[in-house]
């Protein structure tokens, strides 16, 4: 009974008294859809049609990672999640974008799109002082997200370079562990062969 | 007056790429998306054309003056020589069924990574230079002329295809873009435009016998080193034989198994299996001459693949063996099964492979006289010849990656799975649309497993990684097994970027863990030298038991004294 009364009361409360979080939660599908479409815009026209179809994560892992990541970011941001809580979701998107055909700024610009989408969603409530204030702090949060994404982007790029180095080292890793036994082809014809076999055990 | 946008609209930065026809968008050679150019010294070793210092990032690729002529003549020759190539140039209806099936397109979103467009790069030249309609109507008939920029574009995209053949599976006409890529690469090669990570191994392989230029004594020494490690783990020192004339079987594996982790653990698995079987009548030798199962010539030209492959039969003949067993490798398997006996007449000494342990006759290998080690092992298990303790692999929750060449190339699905079923207790398949014939490439095959290509590799790896992530989340899978040497190296990098909690192994590494050697000591660690998690517990229990015993004895002594 109490629940029904409570729900009734909530339904009667006009939008204007709803919290920022509640309004954004209600408009989540529209905002997320808009956000996803905004990120799609950064891909070539021919690709967008393919990326749009998110039904099968195995056929379209990019859209899956991006949309799942975005949803997580959104939920965390509006409910006041800490950077540690947001990071795993942000990382899902950044990890994909960090190896695609984008400059760093292009890869991360999507974050700031969230601002205009949130503003658009709040258009009717912007005059309310509380909402206005909350919005400003939310926007600050999105700016912080931008900085956080920069850290994550760098982490991905550093990882890429680390992987490169590791591969080169491991290519003959066991051999070097045992002894230096490679005999390379000299750079110029006539040069002596580059062989180091004297420390064979 | 023109409408002025709102401040938000004005502040918005437009990152949409330009809307142009694909023919008008030249590729940008940005780091991470192209492989270093082939080196003059390697060209010289195998006589590849146009040896020179160059880089794909250079404006001038130092092509000969008549480069266009050479290219088009090469194309004409191949259109004539390979009927499939002519067909693939003619029959595509651009239905788009293949478009979203390539891991590079899926992961990158670059439309020219759609197989249909990749092939269209060459097809447009075919139309523009060889067909009347294309010559006259040009773009309208989908034709274009071969220009310097177009040539560079071909290089860029044919070295962004791993020849995995996933696209061909979905084409109603059976068009195999991998074959278009192969021809495309051959044509690029005519002008000396290959990549360092292919020509380097090719030259080394031609000169020293394997991709890394490792000399025979080093090869031998490495295997001895593994034997010592096996002794440490099992208490038994295997003594494999090398270059032994009169042996019944010659074993050839990719050199990656001998020199790079985690392939080395798979090599230890082979050694242990062969040691185990010696008592049952196995008569097998390794070769330090045919010390490379892989064949990067296959990624250069048919001719180069043939040249590098020559040593397999040559060594088989020199040693007088009856058949060859190949180690866990993908492209080696495709070369040996699909091409080897058309490259060369098998030597007379070779016979249809018959397992000396089970008597099974491998009829399907009667032409080329070579079997894959997984077939050999699966047959042994089927006949109950191996004494196995799968619980030693219990720390692993395993899934299996079908390598493109074994799976899609050769329909080789069940044998490795059968072996795995018998050597591990926890096995979980990845989703159906990502395994067997539909398997996703590791993103680094066909000679593209080089470090400077990492961005592109990680894009191409995403579809595979995403399926691994799925079984990791759902079933706690922590080991991705495979039967390909390139995969063992590249999947390790893939998981480290995309699914860091998952390790990579070969199937025979897990077999080595499970195989109970006669007279072995109690195993406390796996082939990687990692202690089994239960060892510490058992030791603690033993200490506790011993302490209890001592306490009991003391108590008994005390009681006696009191009496
Ligand atoms: S063969 Fe593989 S890599 Fe090449 S276009 Fe087809 S799906 Fe892509
Ligand atoms: S599926 Fe076959 S016919 Fe259809 S576009 Fe691709 S290559 Fe052409």
CB contact at 8 A, B484 and B405: yes
Mean of pLDDT over chain B: 92
Q: Is B98 in the pocket of ligand 2 (CB under 6 A)?
A: yes
B94 alpha carbon – ligand 2 mean position (Å)? 5
Residues in CB range of B515: below 8 A, 6 or more apart: B269, B272, B273, B276, B386, B387, B388
Closest CA to B189 of B69, B38, B331, B335: B38
pLDDT at position B3, please?
53
Top-confidence residue, A183 or B555:
B555
DSSP per residue, B300-358: T-HHHHHHHHHHHHHHHHHHT-SEEEE-S-SHHHHIIIIIHHHHSPPPTT----B-TTT
CA distance A17 to chain B (A): 26
Q: Which residue of A has its CA nearest to B10?
A: A116
- The C-alpha R_g of chain A, in whole angstroms, comes to 26
- Percent of chain B having pLDDT more than 70? 96
pLDDT digits over B310-347, tens only? 999 999 999 999 999 999 999 998 899 889 999 999 99
Token pair in block for residue A74: 């959104």
Closest CA to B153 of B300, B284, B33: B33
For the beta sheet containing B249-252, the strands, ordered from the edge strand earlier in sequence to the opposite edge, are B284-286, B249-252, B323-326, B370-372
CA distance A194 to chain B (A): 11
pLDDT at position A163, please?
96
pLDDT band at B167 (very low <50, low <70, confident <90, very high): very high
DSSP per residue, B66-121: THHHHHHHHHHHHHHH-HHHHHHHH------TTGGG-HHHHHH--GGGSHHHHHHH
Residue of B105, B115, B174, B176 to test ligand 2 pocket, by largest number of atoms within 8 Å of CB: B115
Q: Is B116 in the pocket of ligand 2 (CB under 6 A)?
A: yes
A59 CB neighbours in chain B (<8 A) are 100, 106, 433
pLDDT band at B11 (very low <50, low <70, confident <90, very high): very low
Interface contacts (A, B; CB < 8 Å): 170
Closest CA to B458 of A95, A110, A55, A166: A95
Token pair in block for residue B82: 């390979």
**pLDDT exceeds cutoff 60 at B236:** yes
pLDDT digits over B99-148, tens only? 999 999 999 999 999 999 999 999 999 999 999 988 888 888 889 999 99
Residue A137 burial class via C-beta count within 10 angstroms: exposed 0-12, middle 13-18, buried 19 and up:
exposed
B154 alpha carbon – ligand 1 mean position (Å)? 14
Q: Do A172 and B212 touch (CB under 8 A)?
A: yes
Q: How many CB atoms lie within 10 A of CB B367?
A: 13
Q: How far is CA A56 from CA A24, A66, B110, B415, in A?
A: 27, 13, 20, 29
Testing the interface with B: which of A52, A64, A101 to mutate, by most B Cβ within 10 A?
A101
Q: Which atom of ligand 1 is closest in space to residue B441's alpha carbon? A: 2
CA distance A62 to chain B (A): 6
**pLDDT exceeds cutoff 60 at B40:** yes
Question: What distance in Å separates the CA atoms of residue B258 and residue B212, rounded to the nearest whole number?
Answer: 11
**pLDDT exceeds cutoff 90 at B261:** no
pLDDT digits over B356-384, tens only? 999 999 999 999 999 999 999 999 999 99
pLDDT band at B259 (very low <50, low <70, confident <90, very high): confident
pLDDT digits over B523-537, tens only? 999 999 999 999 988
- ipTM (interface predicted TM): 0.88
**pLDDT exceeds cutoff 70 at B548:** yes
- Closest residue CA from atom 8 of ligand 1: B102
Question: What residues in chain A have per-residue pLDDT under 70?
Answer: 1-17, 172-201
Closest CA to A95 of B468, B496, B362: B496
A95 CB neighbours in chain B (<8 A) are 497-498
pLDDT at position B13, please?
53
Q: What is the pTM of this model?
A: 0.90
pLDDT at position B141, please?
85
Q: Which atom of ligand 1 is closest in space to residue B181's alpha carbon? A: 4
Question: What distance in Å separates the CA atoms of residue B375 and residue B366, rounded to the nearest whole number?
Answer: 14
- Percent of chain B having pLDDT more than 90? 81
pLDDT at position A194, please?
57
pLDDT band at B422 (very low <50, low <70, confident <90, very high): very high
């Amino acid at each position: 009974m109490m629940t029904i009364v409570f729900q009734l009361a909530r339904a009667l409360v006009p939008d204007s008294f709803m919290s920022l979080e509640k309004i954004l939660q209600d408009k989540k599908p529209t905002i997320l859809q808009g956000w996803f479409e905004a990120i799609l815009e950064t891909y070539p026209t021919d690709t967008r049609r393919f990326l749009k179809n998110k039904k099968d994560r195995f056929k379209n892992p990019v859209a899956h990672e991006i949309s799942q990541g975005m949803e997580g970011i959104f939920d965390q941001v509006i409910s006041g999640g800490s950077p540690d809580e947001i990071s795993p979701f942000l990382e899902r998107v950044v990890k994909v974008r960090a190896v695609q055909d984008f400059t760093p700024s292009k890869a991360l610009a999507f974050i700031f799109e969230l601002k205009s989408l949130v503003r658009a969603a709040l258009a009717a409530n912007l005059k309310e002082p509380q909402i206005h204030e909350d919005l400003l702090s939310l926007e600050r949060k999105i700016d912080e997200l931008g900085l956080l994404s920069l850290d994550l982007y760098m982490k991905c790029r550093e990882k890429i370079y680390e992987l490169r180095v590791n591969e080169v080292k491991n290519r003959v890793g066991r051999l070097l562990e045992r002894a230096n036994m490679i005999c390379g082809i000299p750079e110029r014809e006539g040069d002596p062969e580059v062989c180091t076999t004297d420390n064979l055990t | 007056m023109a409408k002025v946008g709102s401040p938000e609209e004005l502040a918005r930065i437009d990152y949409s790429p330009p809307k142009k026809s694909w023919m008008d968008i030249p590729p940008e050679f940005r780091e991470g998306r192209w492989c270093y150019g082939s080196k003059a010294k390697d060209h010289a070793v195998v006589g590849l054309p146009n040896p020179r210092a160059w880089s794909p990032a250079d404006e001038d690729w130092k092509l000969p003056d008549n480069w266009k002529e050479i290219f088009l003549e090469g194309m004409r020759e191949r259109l004539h020589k390979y009927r499939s190539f002519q067909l693939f140039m003619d029959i595509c209806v651009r239905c788009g069924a293949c478009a979203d099936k390539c891991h590079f397109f899926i992961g990158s979103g670059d439309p020219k990574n759609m197989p249909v467009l990749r092939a269209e790069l060459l097809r447009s030249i075919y139309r523009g230079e060889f067909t009347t309609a294309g010559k006259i109507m040009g773009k309208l008939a989908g034709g274009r002329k071969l220009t310097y920029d177009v040539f560079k574009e071909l290089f860029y995209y044919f070295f962004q295809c791993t020849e995995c053949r996933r696209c061909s599976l979905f084409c109603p006409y059976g068009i195999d873009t991998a074959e278009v890529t192969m021809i495309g690469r051959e044509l690029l090669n005519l002008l000396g435009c290959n990549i360092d990570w292919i020509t380097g191994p090719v030259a080394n392989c031609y000169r020293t016998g394997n991709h890394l230029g490792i000399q025979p004594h080093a090869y031998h020494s490495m295997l001895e080193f593994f034997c010592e490690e096996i002794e440490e783990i099992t208490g038994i020192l295997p003594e494999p034989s090398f270059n032994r004339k009169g042996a019944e079987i010659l074993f050839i594996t990719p050199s990656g198994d001998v020199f790079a982790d985690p392939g080395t653990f798979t090599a230890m698995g082979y050694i242990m299996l062969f040691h185990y079987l010696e008592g049952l009548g196995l008569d097998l030798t390794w070769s330090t001459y045919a010390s490379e199962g892989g064949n990067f010539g296959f990624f250069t030209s048919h001719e180069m693949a043939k040249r590098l492959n020559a040593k397999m039969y040559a060594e088989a003949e020199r040693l007088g063996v009856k058949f060859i067993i190949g180690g866990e490798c993908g492209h080696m398997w495709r070369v040996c099964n699909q091409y080897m006996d058309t490259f060369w007449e098998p030597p007379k000494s070779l016979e249809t492979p018959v397992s000396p342990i089970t008597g099974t006759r491998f009829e399907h290998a009667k032409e080329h006289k070579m079997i894959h080690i997984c077939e050999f092992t699966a047959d042994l298990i089927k006949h109950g010849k191996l004494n196995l303790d799968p619980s030693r692999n219990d720390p692993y929750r395993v899934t299996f990656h079908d390598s493109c060449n074994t799976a899609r190339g050769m329909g080789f699905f069940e044998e490795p799975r059968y072996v795995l079923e018998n050597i591990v207790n926890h096995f979980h398949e990845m989703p159906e649309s990502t395994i067997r014939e539909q398997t996703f490439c590791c993103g680094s095959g066909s000679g593209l497993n080089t470090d400077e290509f990492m961005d592109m590799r990680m894009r191409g790896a995403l579809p595979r990684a995403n399926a691994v992530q799925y079984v990791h989340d759902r079933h706690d899978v922590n080991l991705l097994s495979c039967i390909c040497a390139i995969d063992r190296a590249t999947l390790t990098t893939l998981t480290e970027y995309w699914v860091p909690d998952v390790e990579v192994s070969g199937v025979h590494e897990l077999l080595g863990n499970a195989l109970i050697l006669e007279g072995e000591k109690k195993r406390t660690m796996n082939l990687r030298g990692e202690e089994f998690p239960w060892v510490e517990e058992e030791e603690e229990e033993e200490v506790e038991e011993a302490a209890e015993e001592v306490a009991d004895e003391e108590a008994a002594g005390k009681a006696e004294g009191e009496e």
